[in-house]
Chain A
């Protein structure tokens, strides 16, 4: 297990290096340059600025400086908010995105497993048909529409009671987090429900279930001990990539609900061509996602002993 973990971590480090390199190359392809946004400056000032930011050096040297800074965990200073370090921006705003994402994953995973198991048990009966119809809806409607509908619902709810029961936008209390994280998790929940349903249907017909039933185990015990535990494995496998989808998918929800998360800052940085913020956020997100996938894979090894052995 330790060897496997170390191997995965090493591969992860290389992946992060690849992400950093791809980011560097992409950013150097962007038309214009970081100093273009400033007011017209004379050639001398421009040369001084370039020297200050190291932009006068050859690209390969810039690349190694960039890598070195990344290694020491320094993402530089924002180009548009000159008194703010990228590290500070990430430290201030990433936790918000992370909480939002984790809550959404929690909603999606519990909901997906629950609904999926339910549909499999009630196969081709009313609950199955209703839930699967909602699932199809959840997969087909874009998240920003859900976000807008969610806000509309909150507005109507609040106006019905004549006071602000659940805040429509913003961030701060647990009530602020409720609607955005549900909206964010909805698509993933639909996906996981489908997955859980098909894997549950496969498990239900397995021989060991029949054996358990023949032995006279209670249906609840069969359900929790034998069906759910086995059916949940494929769901956990896709959880890693889905965390990636949810954390980056948070952009829209953060935008619609006015949540000061990192996604919103990334979009803003791209609009203002804030080079250091873009590069820092991308590499940071990339590293975070790689780590998440590794953690999920290792967890998988703990849950499913077959993986540990191979």
Chain B
């Protein structure tokens, strides 16, 4: 038996025969993995889309819709949203004698009931200048009452605004009471000259927006009243979302207000989360007595009644004349809100500090700053991102809340909250002034909340092992 004689050939590396291990899935980093899972969450993705749209509304919106949000127009106070872009030119108001019966005799008696009036119609084209109503005589009636309602009347007691009464031979009525280009429900009730009979006829009509040549000049649509003829159409200021109580365009104000609300809603959380990270990271990293002292202080700040101190700090930082008061609010928010993030980050850091991979890295000779930058901060990022997402709606709420009670931004600057405050006063007659800003606040808060829920699920490592 001969000894094994190794030759050079024996030291040739073996060629790999087959793949021993197949990597079926691409390797994903933590964030890539989170993104994949977030994409599966339809609600979160829709919310993300809404947030992007809100951003565009705020940043690009004013470029596309270049109406001055501060421009007041007392001719167009509290206009409902409308797509009306034009007005018809009408003749200046001329007196109307109405329609009277030639031979009329007073019935001199009250009947138990009368038929409803017939032929209730308009005498000519109704415009916002005047609506002229006419009807046929009801035999036995000695007068008529005219009512106007903004909605369909429920019953006889719900006919709306009593406009006026006619007596005897008068079979017409002219309505000139602050007419708007909207749908009206006119009702006509016959009377015995004093008491009403419980019957009525109804007429539904929408007066056309009319402007006399002089009014058009006043509103700076034309320069010379002879420029236009009666019956021409004029292009007027267009307010797709209506106007507010000073005639300012709602859409432009909502865009301007979005800047304030979203600025505070996004910048304040960024700032206080940053402060929280530094503070909490410091406390968690050093631990021991420093940690105890820093956290005790944070507990004190948490105990401050939040809204009271928001108001207190806001007035303490003061606003000079002509300032909007955004900065004091931002500062107050940051001063009061950092402890929650600080506590969270501290807890995370304390936990991560004890992890095996930190020890391993330390054994391999990693320095402190490397550990902090490479391991501790990236590993707390997930939790911080979730906090940030939930902090945004809270900050938007706080701003809206303070502005609503009149402690927020100073009046000429619109914010969604202060617009709600103004809108709530005319809630019943002009609901659009409250609905639009309230809707925007709600949608924004909803989107950030749902995105936060989605992020929590996507970033949760416990969830990752589950699927």
Contacts and interface: CB of A to CB of B under 8 A. Distances in A.
A278 interface: yes
A281 B449 contact: no
Contacts of B313: 26
A273 B449 CA distance: 37
Interface residues of B, number: 39
B96 interface: no
Interface string B384-411: 0000000001000100110011110000
Contacts of A286: 303-305, 308
Interface stretch (B59-67, B109-117, B434-442): B434-442
Interface in A230-270: 244-245, 248-249, 251-252, 255-256, 266-267, 270
Contacts of B401: 142-144, 249, 251-252
A205 interface: no
A290 to B, nearest CB: 6
B208 interface: no
Interface in B432-454: 434, 438, 441-443, 445-446, 449-450
B447 to A, nearest CB: 9
Contact of A249 (B307, B315, B317, B417): B307
A144 B417 CA distance: 10
Contact of B446 (A136, A244, A282): A136
Contacts of B427: 148, 152
A31 interface: yes
B11 interface: no
B300 A140 contact: no
A255 B312 contact: no
Nearest to B435: A145
A102 to B, nearest CB: 17
Nearest to B303: A15
Given A136-B449, A144-B424, A245 B405 contact: no
Which of A14, A144, A155, A293 has the largest number of chain B CB atoms within 10 A?
Answer: A144
B303 A148 contact: no
Contacts of A285: 305, 308
A23 interface: yes
Given A15-B303, A249-B307, A286-B304, A144 B420 contact: yes
B136 to A, nearest CB: 34
A290 B309 CA distance: 15
A36 interface: no
Contacts of B438: 141-142, 145
Given A140-B445, A142-B438, A144-B404, A27 B316 contact: yes
B303 A19 contact: yes
Which of A19, A273, A281 gathers most chain B CB within 10 Å? A19
A290 B303 contact: yes
Contact of A140 (B308, B312, B446): B446
A140 B445 CA distance: 5
B12 to A, nearest CB: 59
Nearest to B317: A29
A30 interface: yes
Nearest to A144: B404
B248 to A, nearest CB: 21
A152 B428 contact: yes
A228 interface: no
Interface string A22-37: 1100110111000000
B312 A23 contact: yes
Given A270-B315, A271-B406, A140 B442 contact: yes
28 contacts: A14-B300, A19-B300, A19-B305, A26-B309, A27-B316, A30-B315, A30-B318, A140-B443, A140-B445, A141-B438, A141-B445, A142-B397, A142-B404, A144-B400, A144-B404, A145-B438, A148-B427, A245-B306, A248-B305, A248-B307, A252-B405, A255-B405, A266-B311, A267-B405, A270-B407, A271-B406, A273-B315, A286-B304
A211 to B, nearest CB: 24
Nearest to A28: B316
A139 B449 contact: yes
Interface residues of A, number: 43
Contacts of B312: 23, 26-27, 270, 278, 282
Q: What 5 pairs across the A-B complex have the smallest Cβ distances?
A: A140-B446, A29-B316, A31-B318, A248-B307, A18-B300
A142 B305 contact: no
Interface majority SS on A: helix, strand, loop or mixed?
helix
A266 B400 contact: no
B8 to A, nearest CB: 66
Given A29-B316, A140-B445, A142-B400, A256 B304 contact: no
Given A18-B303, A267-B311, 7 more contacts: A23-B312, A140-B449, A142-B401, A148-B434, A244-B305, A285-B305, A293-B303
A92 to B, nearest CB: 19
Interface of B: 299-300, 303-309, 311-313, 315-318, 393, 397, 400-401, 404-407, 417, 420-421, 424, 427-428, 434, 438, 441-443, 445-446, 449-450
Contacts of A144: 400-401, 404, 420-421, 424
Nearest to B313: A26
A122 B422 CA distance: 42
A27 to B, nearest CB: 7
Contacts of B308: 248, 266, 281-282, 285-286
B316 A30 contact: yes
Contacts of B317: 29
A278 B315 CA distance: 11
A19 B442 contact: no
A22 B318 contact: no
B432 to A, nearest CB: 13
A183 interface: no
Contacts of B299: 15
A289 interface: yes
A145 B421 CA distance: 10
Contacts of B311: 266-267, 270
Nearest to A151: B427
Contacts of A14: 300
A33 to B, nearest CB: 13
A270 B308 CA distance: 10
A153 to B, nearest CB: 12
A289 B450 CA distance: 30
A140 B434 CA distance: 16
A40 B129 CA distance: 52
Contacts of B407: 267, 270
Contacts of A282: 305, 308-309, 312
Contacts of A136: 446, 449-450
Contacts of B303: 15, 18-19, 286, 289-290, 293
A155 B223 CA distance: 47
Contacts of B445: 139-142
Contacts of B306: 244-245, 248
A308 to B, nearest CB: 22
Contacts of A145: 420, 434, 438, 441-442
B400 to A, nearest CB: 5
